[in-house]
Chains A and B, each alone.
Chain A
Amino acid sequence: METLNYLNNGHGLKSWLLTKDHKRIALLYLVSITVFFVIGGFFAMLVRLELLTPAGDLLTSETYNKMFTMHGVVMVFFFLIPSIPAVLGNFLIPIMVGAKDLAFPRINLLSWYIYVLGGVFTLVAALGGGVDTGWTFYTPYSTAAANGHVITAALGVFITGFSSILTGLNFIVTIHRMRAPGLTWFRLPLFVWSHYATSLIMILGTPVIAITVLLVAAERGLHLGIFDPALGGDPILFQHLFWFYSHPAVYIMILPAMGVVSEIVQAFTRKNIFGYSFVAFSSLAIAIIGFLVWGHHLFVSGQSVYSGMIFSFLSFCVAIPSAIKVFNWTATIFKGSVCLDSPMLYAFGFIGLFTIGGLTGLFLAAMGLDIHVHDTYFVVAHFHYIMVGGAIMGYLGGLHYWWPKISGRRYSEPWAKFSALLVFTGFNLTFFPQFIAGYLGMPRRYHAYPPEFQVLNVASTLGASILTVGYVIPLIYFAYSLFAGEKSVNDPWGARGLEWEIPSPPPTENFTVSPVVTEGTHQYVHPNQEVGLA
């Protein structure tokens, strides 16, 4: 007789589509963002295939523009932003704070439906002819000139924004009000801290992008003149409003991944994090400073040199809390008893790739150098190192780490290690050549390029193919583990934290007896004590 848990407590489609259980909603998100990841990946593969040869032969320039636009819109708004918060955060935050559910379970379910509705709008725009504005919807092109379904896509982004806002709101209230007795702020897992910082960005930034894309839709559909130069409107205002959200949005993607890495690094070195409060506050620092750097996207848009200098300085400042995290993870690993299980491989991948992505970000924050590499593949490579090398590595690492808890099953560890190495290799082969191509002057967003860039582009496309295989393999062994995987114990990794105290998979209400916490939730024994026990 199987024990009752959240997976077998209620069967049938209705028990899933009307569920208010945060764990089931997390799985609804998991399935839907995976669908969007596959769609976004399909667009990316078409882009990479076109770039295999210098001539624009596979796609017309218009189709190519639509492909990279849809790739960006789908990956940013429908995969990366919800990925870790809506799946792992949704599943784990109530458990990590010792609660039975998020503060507003119905709003949690609503946010998933809003996400799906926004996704439907975007897919309608994609299938109905696509959008070719780039994911940034820059005016006046998007309002006055662009072909295609700009209004539908903009409304899709607008609607999905509310899903993100509601998730952030739910997390903030949950972390403030639902913590178990004794679970003070400085006993919280760092995963919770990073999600708190992420939620701040979600609630402060997302409404601004919502009103901005709504104005673009209104200007296009109702002929209002907010960004129209003919009426004295300023397209640069759009860029300011857009990047006020969209730069912090990068931190929505990376901060949760940093939370995941903080957890994994502790679990697989058997050590408490080095400098807990520095790591916790660096998340908040990234969230706050992140709101003050958007102008570095406008260095060549006619922004005054003086604003440029201030934005440049503030952008450099983000490097400080980011470096604190990297140094503290490294210090945690130092002299730890490191276990190279698959989640740890992803965490190592994250630390390396994020460091490269972050340091190249400093190149772009420097005004003089940015003029040289602006709108080249250097920028493309930089943000993919952060978003794919950082955010997706963190997402996959977290998914591997908590999969036994989520599914109650073990996946194949050898395959997991193999695919982690494949993802790391494929990723670097895809994006490192783009740094070189960009530095040598290859502009982004063109379907044809001078022949001297072909070697770099062939390498990049080859890397993308390896990366694809690396992403497909986990899909297979995760699915396989659901049916044939070995059953997992409560704490398969020997990790610490409330989520590892309860059964795998957890019961519907998480805790049969509400926990009372008496010290930090991640107290690892000193590695030397292990010897004495064995």
Chain B
Amino acid sequence: MRDAHSEHFPGPIHQPPLASNVDAIQPHDHEELPHHPKLQHHFDDMAQQVEASTLGMWVFLVTEIMFFGGLFTAYLVYRYINPEGFAEASHHLNVTWGAVNTIVLIVSSLTMALAVRSAQISAPPKTQVAWIGATMLLGATFLGVKAIEYYDKFTHHLVPGPNFHWEGKHPAPAEMFYSLYFCMTGLHAIHMVIGLGIMTVIGFMAWRRTFDADYYTPVEVAGLYWHFVDIVWIFLFPLLYLIGGHFTE
């Protein structure tokens, strides 16, 4: 029965009159061109490889939006239920530190963009590494400030759990606010640490003269990730630090 099928329906390649949906004879146009040393075996050409890598990072960032989205939803729901409690709790965050960190991150996005640019124009490795290093320094500064803030919250018994202590009118929503505060900024900080790890590798590759105008996808893709983590903070800063402005004693 089955053998009969294969006799009646041979593959289109072997019997053109039946169907010719695949033409295996024509070779690829691209195969004449010399291969870039960084071209992986399963891609046809560099353009396809670059498109795949950047699309991959964009899709990954979509998953990141959904990942943070769960927390933002929780924030939205609880702030809607307890607007006053959240304002009171937010009032105890240090807006100055938050603002400093916002500026630090925005500047780091600039240095990141310049790092990508320096690779795109085949700038010398020193220049590329300098911009990557500056980005990392700013990232580390952000984490340092965040550590000071966390320490401050710890000494003031603002870490949720048995030791949480609140003097104000809304202790329960305040503890909820600080639960969200630590989850959201903590998750963001983990992303910053991962970003620093990625930038270390990228910096090392730049030092080894990996990137030039023909090949800079890793810097570009790392840059997309870095900008994304910055943008998350741009949303966190007003939602966590600035809503305290609504608070009246």
A residues with a Cβ closer than 8 A to B are: 99-105, 107, 165, 169-170, 172-174, 176-178, 181, 203-208, 210-212, 215, 218, 222-226, 230-234, 237, 241, 270, 339, 341, 413, 489-496, 498, 500-501, 509, 511, 513-521, 523, 525, 530, 533-534
Contact call B27/A513, Cβ cutoff below 8 A: yes
Contact call B70/A232, Cβ cutoff below 8 A: no
Contact call A517/B22, Cβ cutoff below 8 A: yes
Number of interface residues of B (CB under 8 A): 60
Please tell me if B195 contacts chain A, counting CB pairs below 8 Å.
no
Give bound CA distance, A517 to B175, whole Å. Answer: 61
Give bound CA distance, A230 to B74, whole Å. Answer: 16
Distance (whole angstroms) from the CB of A395 to the closest CB of chain B: 22
Contact call B81/A232, Cβ cutoff below 8 A: yes
Classify the secondary structure of B's interface with A.
helix
Distance (whole angstroms) from the CB of B175 to the closest CB of chain A: 5
Contact call B24/A173, Cβ cutoff below 8 A: no
Q: 18 new A-B pairs (CB below 8 Å) besides A339-B5, A523-B21?
A: A104-B56, A165-B63, A173-B56, A174-B52, A178-B42, A207-B69, A215-B70, A215-B71, A224-B160, A226-B176, A226-B183, A231-B160, A234-B77, A241-B70, A491-B6, A514-B44, A515-B22, A518-B23
Distance (whole angstroms) from the CB of A205 to the closest CB of chain B: 7
List B212-249 residues whose CB lies under 8 Å from chain A: none
Contact call B59/A211, Cβ cutoff below 8 A: no
Contact call A518/B8, Cβ cutoff below 8 A: no
Q: Which residues of A contact B68 (CB under 8 A)?
A: 211
Give bound CA distance, A206 to B64, whole Å. Answer: 10
Contact call A525/B9, Cβ cutoff below 8 A: yes
Please tell me if B208 contacts chain A, counting CB pairs below 8 Å.
no
Contact call B27/A208, Cβ cutoff below 8 A: no
Contact call B8/A218, Cβ cutoff below 8 A: no
> Which of B19, B21, B48, B51 has the most chain A CB atoms inside 10 A of its CB?
B21
Give bound CA distance, A232 to B183, whole Å. Answer: 17
Q: Which residues of B contact A100 (CB under 8 A)?
A: 41-42
Give bound CA distance, A523 to B9, whole Å. Answer: 11
Please tell me if B33 contacts chain A, counting CB pairs below 8 Å.
no
**Given A500-B11, A534-B8: A103 touches B56 (CB 8 Å cut-off):** yes
Identify which of A169, A496, A509 contacts B63 (C-beta below 8 A).
A169
Identify which of B8, B12, B160, B180 contacts A523 (C-beta below 8 A).
B12
Contact call A233/B78, Cβ cutoff below 8 A: yes
**Given A226-B180, A492-B6, A523-B12: A518 touches B77 (CB 8 Å cut-off):** no
Give bound CA distance, A105 to B82, whole Å. Answer: 48
Identify which of A101, A174, A207, A516 contacts B70 (C-beta below 8 A).
A207
Give bound CA distance, A107 to B25, whole Å. Answer: 32
Nearest first, the 6 A-B pairs at minimum CB distance are A494-B5, A494-B9, A207-B67, A211-B70, A223-B161, A101-B42
Give bound CA distance, A90 to B147, whole Å. Answer: 43
Distance (whole angstroms) from the CB of B186 to the closest CB of chain A: 9
Task: Give 13 A-B contacts (CB < 8 Å), ordered by A residue.
Answer: A101-B42, A104-B56, A173-B59, A177-B52, A207-B64, A207-B67, A210-B67, A211-B68, A225-B175, A231-B176, A234-B81, A518-B21, A533-B8
B residues with a Cβ closer than 8 A to A are: 1-2, 5-6, 8-13, 18-28, 41-44, 48, 51-52, 55-56, 59-60, 62-64, 66-71, 73-74, 77-78, 81-82, 85, 160-162, 172-173, 175-176, 179-180, 182-183, 187
Contact call B8/A494, Cβ cutoff below 8 A: yes
Q: Which residues of B contact A530 (CB under 8 A)?
A: 8
Give bound CA distance, A231 to B180, whole Å. Answer: 12
Contact call A341/B56, Cβ cutoff below 8 A: no
Q: Which residues of B contact A211 (CB under 8 A)?
A: 67-71, 187
Distance (whole angstroms) from the CB of A233 to the closest CB of chain B: 6
Contact call B179/A225, Cβ cutoff below 8 A: yes
Contact call B12/A226, Cβ cutoff below 8 A: no
Q: Which residues of A contact B13 (CB under 8 A)?
A: 501
